[in-house]
Amino acid sequence: MTEIVGSSRPRRLLGGYAPLVVAVVALAAVVVVFPSRAPEKEDAADVSTGIEGESATGWGDTVTACPDGGRQVPDDPYSPPCFAFEGDNGGATSQGVTADSITVTYRQTAEVNTLALLAQLMEIPFDETSEDLQRTMAGLVDYFNENFQFYGRQIDLEVYGGAGLLTAELTGGGQEAARTDALKAGSELHAFADVTATSQPYAEALVQQDVVAFGAPYMSRRWFTDRRPYAWSIVSDCSVVAETGSTYGMRRLFNRPAIYAGGALQDEERRLAIIAPNNPEYQRCASDGLAVLDDNGIEPTLVTDYVLDLARITEQAASISAQLVSNDITTISCFCDPFMVMNLTQQIDAQGLQPEWVVAGVGFVDLDLIGQGLQKKTDQWTRAFGASPLPEQLPPSESPGYQAYTSVRDDEPSVMVDVLYYQLYQLALGIQMAGPDLTPETMETGLFSYPEATGPAGTWDYFPESYTPTVDIREVWWDPEATSPFNGEKGTYVTSGERIRPADLADGQPEVFGR
């Protein structure tokens, strides 16, 4: 019998999952705790998927395939097909678009970005500055302007100082300042798109201003479809991650012994706990993930939630720890922010227990930087494994973002260059695939006609109801002794296999820790 604790909602609306990538210019680690109101946007019935490999507009007239075919950028696995353009691009086709420019805003808050904020709070060295990130983004804009087909236009990056604070926006506040910033981006700077929409309040406020928002963190499938065609993210939507987590559990965890637990819990039949914040978006995704288990007749031992309030994290972690102990939990799947994971590992360690920790692919927890922070406090994370949609972290000099940046600039980019690169890549793809008549609607059609592609960041595919591209995962585990390619410090996530689509996961114990 599943024990459900926390709020008084029905079981399907409790614990569960909510997702991932990488961190985007400043991917938010968490989703705020207030319900959101969707604007009146396009009806889902009006979705146009276009024709694969063709631009949404101008095809066969002003836009044709390049004579030699191939990719726009020959050695880039994610590159769109090569398009040739000749003729009139239509001039001012949308807000922020002219015959020769596309205005894209970049909001700089008082904090460097979310990842830097997390690093500071978790006492992890991370010394990137706002100037480092802005300079790197500007160089990447130069790269895409030079290499992609933008039909006579160039991205014009407008950096502005925002009134909003990420600390407020990520913990349930900051709506008014976010609206002020979005008003500046839309009405004053006349942006077509913004590449720093990495908190829920700012992303929603941009959509209200008809600005295409890139970066919304861990929102549900419904959140994106309600705001189409204005909301996109390189971070997997939390409905996908929830369903992936359930599939992983069914194929790898349930009804099998906890062979990676330690002490008295080792080899016990797994008793799984699912933990998630109780805010509306995460609970919507929890419902999606738990429905997969329900449909297959599977119940976790414990489903619980917590209030996303940093001031209460410690006391809530103690309460949840008591529930885990009383239910003899062997395996903990925490779809949580890093602070809850950190506090929960400490509480469990104080009990002398050695459970398995399932990496859920949410809140940056599957990034080396956060894993290193977790291992500083206890050795609990040495038993962490799971499914991650994030790409393998490469040494900076080998990464696609680094290579793109240094092809147009002589200086060194930020260590976060890949985060910025993939965030901007999504926008660049949309501009090219839209064709010369660039609007939010033609960008949507264009991305849906982008051919599926596989590269270092996984397999990308856009289709109706999918506004985040990654469709596969890695099975990973934490190695506390291995050196991270990201920063050269001890501790990194490793994998023994190729990326795989969740539906293709084989039945059997997780293939982790070299076993």
Q: Write out pLDDT tens, residues 457-491.
A: 999 999 999 999 999 999 999 999 999 998 889 99
**Does pLDDT of 25 surpass 70?**
no
Lowest mean pLDDT among 102-106, 144-148, 485-489: 485-489
**Do the beta carbons of residue 74 and residue 93 sit within 8 Å?**
no
Dist. CA 420–CA 416, nearest whole Å: 7
In the chain, what percentage of residues exceed pLDDT 70?
88
Rg of the chain, C-alpha, whole Å: 22
Burial 225-235 (b: 16+ CB within 10 A, else e): bbbbbbbbbbb
Helices (H) and strands (E) in the chain, counts: 14, 17
Give me the residues paired with residue 459 across strands: 454
Q: How confident is the model at residue 428 (pLDDT cuts 50, 70, 90)?
A: very high
Q: How confident is the model at residue 281 (pLDDT cuts 50, 70, 90)?
A: confident
**Which residues of the chain form CATH 3.40.50.2300?**
3-20+239-388+472-504, 49-235+395-458
CATH superfamily, domain at 49-235+395-458: Response regulator (3.40.50.2300)
- Give me the pLDDT at residue 14, please: 26
- Name the H helices within 255-305: 280-295
Dist. CA 403–CA 411, nearest whole Å: 12
Q: How confident is the model at residue 68 (pLDDT cuts 50, 70, 90)?
A: very high
More confident: 360 or 212: 212
As a whole number, mean pLDDT of residues 129-135 equals 92
Q: What is the DSSP string of 233-248?
A: -SSPPHHHHHHHHHHH
Q: Write out pLDDT tens, residues 7-24.
A: 333 322 222 222 223 333
By DSSP bridging, strand 490-494 and strand 474-483 are: antiparallel
Dist. CA 445–CA 449, nearest whole Å: 6
- Give me the pLDDT at residue 121, please: 67
- Give me the pLDDT at residue 17, please: 25
- Give me the pLDDT at residue 116, please: 67
In Å, how far are 146, 195, 281 from 473, measured between CA atoms?
Answer: 32, 24, 22
Across the chain, which distance is largest between two alpha carbons, in Å?
A: 72
pTM of the model as a whole: 0.89
Dist. CA 376–CA 369, nearest whole Å: 11
CATH superfamily, domain at 3-20+239-388+472-504: Response regulator (3.40.50.2300)
Lowest mean pLDDT among 68-77, 248-257, 365-374, 431-440: 365-374
Dist. CA 158–CA 108, nearest whole Å: 10
Dist. CA 9–CA 141, nearest whole Å: 46
Tokens representing 20 are 């991932």
Q: Quote the distance between the C-alpha of residue 101 and its chain's center.
A: 28
Dist. CA 436–CA 153, nearest whole Å: 9
**Does pLDDT of 436 surpass 60?**
yes
**Do the beta carbons of residue 463 and residue 445 sit within 8 Å?**
no
Q: What is the DSSP string of 81-130?
A: BPEEE-S---S--STTB-SSEEEEEEEE-SSS-HHHHHHHHTT------H
In Å, how far are 74, 406, 486 from 397, measured between CA atoms?
Answer: 20, 9, 10
Dist. CA 241–CA 255, nearest whole Å: 22
Q: What is the DSSP string of 52-64?
A: TTS-SSSBTTTEE
Mean pLDDT of the chain: 89
Q: 229 preceded by cis ω (within 30°)?
A: yes
**Does pLDDT of 195 surpass 70?**
yes
As a whole number, mean pLDDT of residues 304-315 equals 91
As a whole number, mean pLDDT of residues 39-44 equals 52
